[in-house]
Amino acid sequence: MGSQGRSGSPGNGGPGEGEAGEARKPQEGRAAREKRRKGKARAGGGPGGRGSGAEGKPAPRDAQAAAAGPGAGPGASAGPGAAAAGGGREEAGASRAVRGAERSAGPGEEAAGRDDGPERGLRAGRREDAGPEGAQGPGGEAGARLAGAGAGAEAEEEEEAAGRPAAGPALWRLPEELLLLICSYLDARALGRLAQVCRWLRRFTGCDLLWRRIARASLNSGFTRLGTDLMASIPVKERVKVSQNWRLGRCREGILLKWRCSQMPWMQLEGDSLYISQANFILAYKFRPDGASLNRRPLGVFAGHDEDVCHFVLANSHIISAGGDGKIGVHKIHSTFTVKYSAHEQEVNCVDCKGGIIVSGSRDRTAKVWSLASGRLGQCLHTIQTEDRVWSIAISPLLSSFVTGTACCGHFSPLRIWDLNSGQLMTHLGSDFPPGAGVLDLMYESPFTLLTCGYDTYIRYWDLRASVRKCVMEWEEPHDSTLYCLQTDGNHLLATGSSYYGVVRLWDRRQRACLHAFPLTSTPLSSPVYCLRFTTKHLYAALSYNLHVLDFQNP
């Protein structure tokens, strides 16, 4: 009985078998629940819920791609766990589609997307899956927008190359006249910084109109006191840059010519040519493009005097020279025509020529008026007794009078103005000169103003409209040296040559003190500066043995 009970079928078991079955049922139930729990964990445990089916295996890629569709869940035929995972994947795909559509949409489309909700995201997902025949996806729309932006940037660059930029600060969109007015209140430093912003502003700030006001307040910028531009061929901005070197005294010194024996040279500038006297000759040299060197071979040599040339001027394509032999020479610059005639009993110290009239002054205490007309060449019009040796002479720009500077030994005033037509004395300038305060150089700056210098170590500025008894301004040489020559830019700058050590001094007429001093010789070769001339870039000084240059363009 016992053996039959143990070997019988399960369904027909006896009492013992039933008790064992009853004992195993709770254990089997717990094992089944544990197995189902593990299966559920495997089904949804991967990153992003990638489990598929009851066994929790990774879902195929096709199923992942189809998860974005509304009804393409791969777990449709799977168990309950797989179906739940498929639903989760559908929701994740829809949310990703919505986010992609929002990123690729513009502001208006993004707002509409918020209103449409998930359905708009699902439609965007379908467009992504569509082939080339379908509508463009977000990537295609972004490419189109980038292409449009590139075309716009190219158009802006072309517009900037042609004129002002199409986009940028509101300042650029103002009318040009208003921009010029605004920028006219800026100084040189501010304009320079503005030019570094962009290419268009660099071109705009290079306009001469913006720099004229600054140039007129600068030293040796080519503008006269009345605003006349003497160097219109050079941009005003470039002249202002070089003007800063004049103000700060930054220059490079060089020697253009040397002489074997001591000379008392005089010189004049005309265009790109330099005329300088050496002994009884006048030589013409051509400047090289840098302006700081000369072609060694002279363009022309003008002779005719038996002794040294003391002084000469350029007028009407002629060179009018005064010599130590008491003669006046007339030379045509572009030909070999030369005429000389006896003018004074002693050396002729000075000469000037304007409007076809020549005036000369001599050591014989006379001043004479001559005609330059071909039919009356060498004919004296007036002889004036000055009672003193005449060192300097100049004709007024109005061609109505001329002024003489004498040695101040036979008359109380070394400066006297004479009528050019009659030769009569019109007036004298000043009355408090000490004896021997001779005037070695003078020049008219305008019909009513002139500058003088000489043995009394003063530069004096005279305004005939204010007073003829007293100068309106004066500057004293700080080392009490005789001033042999002077030159002005017609505005603020003065340059003088002293009698010792070849000292060239620069003066700002708005200040009392000397601005800069340049000694051009050492103690063993001390020499006066007999003559000096300057342009906006260079200063030339003639001494006993050398012709010096100060280069302010390339210091």
Q: Do residues 550 and 518 lie in contact, with contact meaning Cβ atoms separated by under 8 Å?
A: yes
Amino acid residing at 133: E
Phi and psi for 29 in degrees, rounded to 5? -60, -45
Q: What is the pLDDT along the chain (555 residues), one digit of tens a residue?
A: 343 434 344 344 443 444 444 445 555 666 667 666 666 555 444 444 443 343 444 444 444 443 444 444 433 333 434 333 344 444 444 444 434 444 444 444 443 344 444 344 434 444 444 443 433 444 444 444 434 444 444 444 544 444 666 666 777 788 888 989 999 899 999 999 999 988 888 999 999 999 999 999 999 999 998 889 998 889 999 999 999 999 999 999 999 999 989 999 999 999 999 999 999 999 999 999 998 999 989 999 999 899 999 999 999 899 999 999 999 999 999 888 889 999 999 999 999 999 999 999 999 999 999 998 878 888 899 999 999 999 999 999 999 999 999 999 878 899 999 999 999 999 999 988 988 899 999 999 999 999 999 999 999 999 999 999 999 999 999 999 999 999 999 999 999 999 999 999 999 999 999 999 999 986 677 899 999 999 999 999 999 999 999 999 998
Q: Do residues 26 and 34 lie in contact, with contact meaning Cβ atoms separated by under 8 Å?
A: no
Please give the model's pTM, rounded to 2 decimal places. Answer: 0.70
Q: Do residues 214 and 488 lie in contact, with contact meaning Cβ atoms separated by under 8 Å?
A: no
Sign of the torsion formed by the C-alpha atoms of 55, 56, 61 and 64: positive
Q: Where are the alpha helices (DSSP H) in 131-262?
A: 138-162, 176-183, 188-194, 199-205, 208-216, 236-248
Beta bridge pairs of residue 76: none
- What percent helix, strand, coil does the chain show, rounded to 5? 30, 30, 40
Kindly write down the DSSP assignment for every residue of 515-535, as one continuous string. Answer: EEEEE-S-STT-----EEEE-
- Checking 62-68 for CB contacts under 8 A at 24+ apart, the result is 64/89, 65/129, 67/92, 67/93, 68/93, 68/94, 68/96, 68/97, 68/125, 68/128, 68/129
> Would you state the structure tokens that stand for residue 88, as one six-digit string?
């989760």
Phi and psi for 540 in degrees, rounded to 5? -120, 130
For Cα atoms 440, 390, 535, give the angle at the middle one, nearest 5 degrees: 35
Q: Do residues 509 and 463 lie in contact, with contact meaning Cβ atoms separated by under 8 Å?
A: no
Query: If you classify domain 170-242 with CATH, what class do you get?
Result: mainly alpha
Count other C-beta atoms under 10 Å from residue 102's C-beta. Answer: 17
| 62 Cα distance to chain centroid | 68
Question: Which of these, 506, 507, 497, lies nearest to 547 by C-alpha position?
Answer: 497
Residue with structure tokens 């530069």? 459
- Checking 88-95 for CB contacts under 8 A at 24+ apart, the result is 88/44, 88/49, 89/49, 89/59, 89/64, 92/48, 92/49, 92/67, 93/67, 93/68, 93/69, 93/125, 94/68, 94/70, 94/118, 94/121, 94/122, 94/125, 95/121
Q: How far apart are CA 197 and CA 201, in angstroms?
A: 7
Element housing 24 (H / E): helix 15-44
Query: Domain-by-domain residue ranges, the chain?
Result: 170-242, 269-347+370-385
